[in-house]
Amino acid sequence: MGTLYYGDNLDILTRYVPDESVDLVYLDPPFNSAQNYNAFFQEKDGTAAAAQIQAFEDTWEWNHDSRAAYDALSLRSDKLGSVMRAFMEFLGPNDMMAYLAMMAPRLVELRRALKPTGSLYLHCA
């Protein structure tokens, strides 16, 4: 209670969040807008500063990381492994498959962490 975690949510969920311990999940994943989003800074007087850093890149692409995520999922003998193999057969290795390969294990972990009486809100635009 009252703890803020920083990092990959999949890692945080698997390492620190117990089963059935969460009342509410609001998930606002990237939407593959193909844009980079920046965090802007302000001067001490509150005016906009020229300084900024890239906050995140909202682009999903089939690459080594998404392939590794898919490979791990496809080896599972449960429904998730089966559906991921079916998605791959249907979609092939593309950007949408990369999105599914990265989102699927997070959704599974969130469901594990959610209390039976809990709610999960997934923002899909």
Q: Tell me: the pLDDT tens digits for 39-51? A: 777 777 877 777 7
Interatomic CA distance for residues 24 and 77, integer angstroms: 29
Q: Say what the pLDDT of residue 39 is.
A: 74
Work out the percent of the chain whose per-residue pLDDT is above 70.
98
Give the CA dihedral 100, 103, 105, 110, nearest 10 degrees. Answer: -140
pLDDT score of 70: 97
pLDDT for res 19: 98
Q: What is the pLDDT of residues 66-97, one digit of tens each?
A: 999 999 999 999 999 999 999 999 999 999 99
- Could you give the CA distance from residue 109 to residue 98 in angstroms, rounded to a whole number? 18
Residue 88's alpha-carbon distances to 11, 15, 39, 47, 76, in angstroms, are 24, 28, 35, 49, 14
Q: How do residues 7-22 score in pLDDT, each as one tens digit?
A: 889 999 999 999 999 9
Break the chain into its structural domains and give their ranges.
9-33+60-122
Residue 120, both tokens: 């999960």
The predicted structure's pLDDT at residue 118: 97
pLDDT of residue 38: 74
Helix, coil or strand: residue 116: strand
Please tell me the distance from the alpha carbon of residue 70 to that of residue 29, in angstroms, as a whole number: 18
